[in-house]
Structure 1
Amino acid sequence: MPLSRPTRTTPALLTATALIALTACGTSGADTGGAGPGSRATVEVRIPDPGNSGVLALGKKDGSLDKALAKVGAKVRWTGSAGPFAPAAQAMNADQLDIATGSITSGITSLARRPGFKFFTAVAPDGAGEGILVKNGSGIDSVAGLAGRKVAVNQGGTGEYLLLKALARAGVPADRVERVYLRPDQTAAVFNAGKVDAWAVWSTYSVAEIGTETAHFVADGAAIGSDNYSLNAVRTAFAEQHPDIVKALYRYLHDASVQEKKNPDAYLNVFTDAGPTAVNGRAKEVQADFTRKGGTVDPIRPDDIRRFRNVAAFYAQQKVTTTEVDVAPHLLDIEKTP
């Protein structure tokens, strides 16, 4: 469950996610003041706007997030909008953003460059909400049926990982399937127009499609054996300067995610129940069901790291990355943070 559940549907959710439109910042308040009751300045934590659903959306609306952060001398500055992790990683590297959410798959491809961020929380792979989506009546009733077909994926991210993992498990050579690289927010129209035969996708986008009752997973994350964790990342310099703020943010996200899992409806349509960012009807039921089956925001533990390494090794084997990315140096043990 990502840090935010933005537009149209999500534990993560959203409908048309644009590349993060971040405000161009110079030095932020995050690096100019200390934290804590005795500090001279309140520290600003720059986080993408969460949209209409999810833990952060409710925290923004009811003020509970700022209340929690005020205890460590901080407050949120909402900036841009939640979206793909790759541009968010670039924004953290450029000192334009302090916190972002992404998958381990997109995280590994971003770590293959020169990262200026670290991951500090993990949410277990979403066995129910991600997978290979096909249209009802498509004639594709197994992963093997994808051979000779076109499948939409986001390059180097969750979609490409899910497709390659599904094919490997089914014993289908990757070159038997044509990968069509598309931005996630551009794919629904292509999928619904029949220009691709399937879509490797996660709950941010799958909820709306499944909610129309015209599409279904031919294999979900559980069937695929996905190790695709959702992670929260923090800008490295921010984590070094304000470990108490990062720890307070973790506690807030953990506690709120536990409550969201128990009562997902309370975290949907936080600001409006109408329009393109709202989730209604069957899609709302699907989203709530995915959230109940999903994980909570937790510390990164040794078994998680082992599975991260599995993903990194798989990506190298499949030539998504040129080398096997070492994830361990880019992880924070939030339980040991001062």
Structure 2
Amino acid sequence: MNVRQLALATTSLLAALGLAACSSSSTGSARADTAGGGATVTVRLPDGGNSGVLALGRKDGSLDKALAKVHAKVAWTGTAGAFAPAAQELDANALDFAEGSITSAIAALAQTPGFKLFAAVDPDKLGEGILVKKDSGINTISDLVGRKVAVWHGGTSEYLLLKALEQQHIPVDKVTRVYLQPNQIGPVFNSGQVDAWSTWATYSVPTIANSGARFLTTGGEVGSENYAVWAVRNGFAEQHPEIVKALYTYLHDAGVKQQQNPEAYLNVRTDSGPEAVSDAQKAVELPIDKALGTAQPIGATQLEHFATVAQFFADQKITKGAFDVKPHVIDINATAASAK
């Protein structure tokens, strides 16, 4: 999910807790292997799956090459998906880096601030939004009144629905939110148990391509400020700033290349089987990826938008008060200077 799209599968909460339990014997820092007289730091990243910059970086060796310059190597851990379980893995020292949305990051930081943010990608205006079936008869946000909308609690999904309702001055209690994990929602939506689905590109693309669903509204249309963000475990950031900088640089440069040639970042490992992106999905996916930006430093502009999102979540009772994200942000440019 572009940096935003790391996989087409979602890590479940149960899997996250299992990984956290397996990490209980960890020392609290990334493992350093001694080989050839030098220490190599092992960096734990979510598996990039079959599409995206990490997937291609794994296949062609470019990520290994970039990290080798700072005496680091990758250990692929689990799969990329919803940020909430990944945040738990960061907190439990089962993962060193993860990517998600600022909405999910705020919700996670408000509970256990075990990580810091070091990069951001502009909001996805085309791939996120509220899906409805093509023959649903739902044509405006007002048509959602009295209906059920599937959401994932406290992140992109709930944020987009609440933004859409606010935009149309519709009281939130006029629409029923059905809370489900993202990978559970597809069958529920397709069977008609809910009337709409607020989601992001990992799920909207295959749903639109395979079932003919359509966007009732998109992130761009509701004025979304839902940046994608990259997070690093606190202990790792303190011990290895040069690796954080190296990964940032890789993500930035690879994201530029992906925007220029998005098709090269699809079906990296295989073009068949359940992981593969079909031709129908490509038709939906490629315009979204081409419109996306790349990883950038988190500066004053991004912080202003983060604060607006935090205030919105507080106003909507998603969090208790407006969480201040700024103390949990790394100035990657300052990190670069200190790492020299």
TM-score where L is the length of structure 1: 0.93
SS at match of 1:210: helix
- Quote the sequence identity (%): 56
Report if the CA contact (8 A) 1:158-1:202 is conserved.
yes
Are the structure 2 counterparts of residues 42 and 4 from structure 1 closer, same or farther at C-alpha, using a change threshold of 3 Å? Answer: farther
Which one-letter code corresponds to 2:96 in the other structure?
Answer: D
**Hey, what does 2:313 align to over in structure 1?**
315
Q: Of 144, 163, 166, which residue of structure 2 is paired with 1:168?
A: 166
Q: CA deviation at 1:95?
A: 1.0
Q: CA–CA distance in 2 between the matches of 1:251 and 1:268? A: 21
In the TM superposition, what is the alpha-carbon distance from 1:333 to its structure 2 partner?
0.8
In structure 2, distance between residues paired with 1:15 and 1:238 = 26
What SS does structure 2 have at the residue aligned with 1:212? helix
> Equivalent residue for 2:152?
154
2:92 is matched with 94
CA distance in 1, matches of 2:334, 2:278: 41
Per the alignment, in what secondary structure is the counterpart of residue 47 of structure 1? Answer: strand
Please name the residue that 2:221 is paired with: 223
Corresponding residue for residue 119 of structure 2: 121
Structure-2 residue corresponding to 1:332: 330
For 1:18, give the aligned amino acid: S
Structure 1 unaligned regions, length at least 5: 8-13
Shift of 1:6: 4.0
Q: Distance in 2 between matches of 1:194 and 1:16?
A: 22
Q: Any idea what the Cα deviations from partners look like across 1:75-103, whole Å, max 9, x if unmatched?
A: 10101111221111111111111000110
Instruction: Compute the displacement of 1:330 (Å).
Output: 0.5
Which segment is superposed worse, 117-126 or 281-290?
281-290
Partners of 1:4 and 1:53 within 8 A in 2: no
Q: Deviations over 1:295-321 (max 9, x none)?
A: 211111111110000000000000011
Stretch deviating more after TM superposition (205-214 or 182-191): 205-214
Q: CA deviation at 1:332?
A: 0.6
Q: 1:16 to 1:89 in 2, by over 3 A?
A: closer
Equivalent in the alignment of 1:11:
none
In structure 2, do the counterparts of structure 1 residues 15 and 83 end up closer, same or farther at CA, with 3 Å as the change threshold? closer
- 1:268-307 pair list within 5 angstroms: 268-307=266-305
1:114 is displaced (CA, Å) by 2.1
Q: What are the within-5 Å matches in structure 2 for residues 62-73 of structure 1? A: 62-73=60-71
- For normalisation by structure 2, the TM-score amounts to 0.93
Q: Deviations over 1:95-140 (max 9, x none)?
A: 1110001101111110111211001000100000000110001111
Look up the match of 1:138.
136
Q: Distance in 1 between matches of 2:2 and 2:108?
A: 17
Contact 2:33 2:42 in 1 (8 A): no
- Report the CA distance between 1:31 and its aligned residue: 3.6
Deviation at 1:33, TM superposition (A): 4.0
Aligned equivalent of 1:186:
184
Could you list the runs of 5+ residues in structure 2 that have no partner in the other structure? Answer: none
Query: What residue is the counterpart of 1:261 in the other structure?
Result: 259
Deviation string for 1:19-42 (max 9, x for gaps)?
Answer: 44537233369545499x998310
The DSSP-based 3-state class of the residue aligned with 2:274 is coil
In 2, the alpha carbon distance for the partners of 1:294 and 1:126 equals 6
- Contact 1:15–1:205 at 8 Å: present in 2 too? no
User: Can you list the C-alpha shifts for 1:191-230, whole angstroms capped at 9, x where unaligned?
Assistant: 0001000000100100001112511111101111101111
Are the equivalent residues in 1 in contact too, given 2:2–2:259 (CA < 8 A)? no
Q: Tell me the matched-pair count.
A: 331
Q: 1:123 to 1:175 in 2, by over 3 A?
A: same
Tell me the CA shift for residue 153 of structure 1. 0.3
Matched, 1:18 2:17: no
Contact 1:159–1:201 (8 Å) recurs in 2: yes
Q: Aligned to 1:96, what secondary structure does the other structure show?
A: coil
Q: Do 1:98 and 1:235's aligned partners in 2 also have CA atoms closer than 8 Å?
A: yes
Decide whether the 8 Å contact of 2:28 with 2:93 is kept in 1. Answer: no
Inter-partner Cα distance in structure 2 for 1:15 and 1:79: 14
Q: What SS is found at the alignment partner of 1:107?
A: helix
Cα distance in 2 for residues equivalent to 1:262 and 1:286: 17
Note the alpha carbon deviations across 1:138-163, whole angstroms, 9 max, x for none: 11111111111100000111111000
- Rounded to whole Å, the distance in 2 between the matches of 1:48 and 1:32 is 16
User: Using the alignment, how far apart are the partners of 2:177 and 2:2 within structure 1?
Assistant: 26
Corresponding residue for 1:105?
Answer: 103
1:45 maps to 2:43: yes
